[in-house]
A = this chain, B = another copy of it.
Amino acid sequence: MDARGQQGRRPRADVQRNRVALLEAAQRHFLTYGVGTSLEAVAKEAGVGPGTLYRHFPTREALLAAVLQTRSEELVARQEEIARLGDADKALEQWLRALEEYFSAFSGLPEPLMAAARAQDPDNPLTLPCDTVITATEEYVRAAQRTGYVRESVKGYDLFLAAISVAWLKGAGAAEEESLDRVRALVAAGYRKRNTEA
C-alpha cells in the first residue's frame, strides 16, 4: 500500500538506522583522528560489527564520500552565495577559499582526493565530487579571464591543485595561519594579471 516505486519489499528499518549511526561515528572519528582512523573503532562506536560497516561502505573511500556528502552540499550553497558577488575576480578568490576549506574538512583528506582525481576510476566514489569541483573551478577561471583579471595561461585544474596543496599544508599542520596566508597570497599573485607590488 505504500508509495515506493515498483516492486520488492520495503527496506528494513535497521539498515537506515545503522547507516546513520555509522555516518555519525565516522564523521566524529574523521574529525578527531583524520581519514586514516581505524574503521573497526568506527564500527564499535556506531554499535555495529565490522561486517556491517563493510557491507554498507565496502571501502574507506566509500565511507569518506558518504560523510563528505554534507560538505559538498555546503559547497553548492556557497556557490550560489558567490554568484551574487558579480565580480569575477572576487568570485574566483572566494571559490578557491571555499575549496580549500572543503579539502581541509578532515586531516589527510587531500591524499585520497588526489588519488581519485588522477585515477579517473569510475568505481572510486570520490571521483565524482572531485570532477565536479574541478569543472566548477574551470568555469570560475574562465569567467575571471573574460573580465581580464586572470592570465590566459592559467587553467582551472592548476588552481584546483593549488587549493588542494594548501589544504594539504594545513592538514600536515606544518604551517601556522600566518604562513598559509602568505602562500595564498603567493598563489593569488601568481594567477592574477595585475601586479600588486609589495
Tallying the copies of this chain within the complex gives 2
Which residues between 153 and 168 of chain A lie within 8 Å of chain B, taking CB atoms?
A: 153-155, 157-158, 161-162, 165-166, 168
Stretch at the interface among A69-77, A80-88, A182-190: A182-190
Q: Looking at chain A, what size class is its interface with the partner chain?
A: 35 or more
Of the candidates B168, B174, B182, the one whose C-beta lies within 8 Å of that of A155 is B182
A198 interface residue (CB < 8 Å to B): yes
CB-nearest residue of chain B to A189? B190
Query: CA A175 – CA B113 in complex, angstroms?
Result: 12
**With known contacts A174-B114, A179-B157, A191–B197 Cβ distance under 8 A:** no
Are the CB atoms of A153 and B185 closer together than 8 Å? yes
A195 interface residue (CB < 8 Å to B): yes
A128 interface residue (CB < 8 Å to B): no
Query: CA A162 – CA B151 in complex, angstroms?
Result: 20
**Contact mask for chain A residues 101-138; partner B; CB cutoff 8 A; 1 contact, 0 none:** 00000000011001101100000000000000000000
Chain B: minimal CB distance from A3 (Å): 44
Are the CB atoms of B193 and A190 closer together than 8 Å? no
Are the CB atoms of B153 and A182 closer together than 8 Å? yes
Query: CA A158 – CA B179 in complex, angstroms?
Result: 7
CB-nearest residue of chain B to A158? B182
A1 interface residue (CB < 8 Å to B): no
Query: CA A35 – CA B188 in complex, angstroms?
Result: 32
Chain B: minimal CB distance from A193 (Å): 7
Query: CA A192 – CA B175 in complex, angstroms?
Result: 22
CB-nearest residue of chain B to A118? B174
Are the CB atoms of B152 and A198 closer together than 8 Å? yes
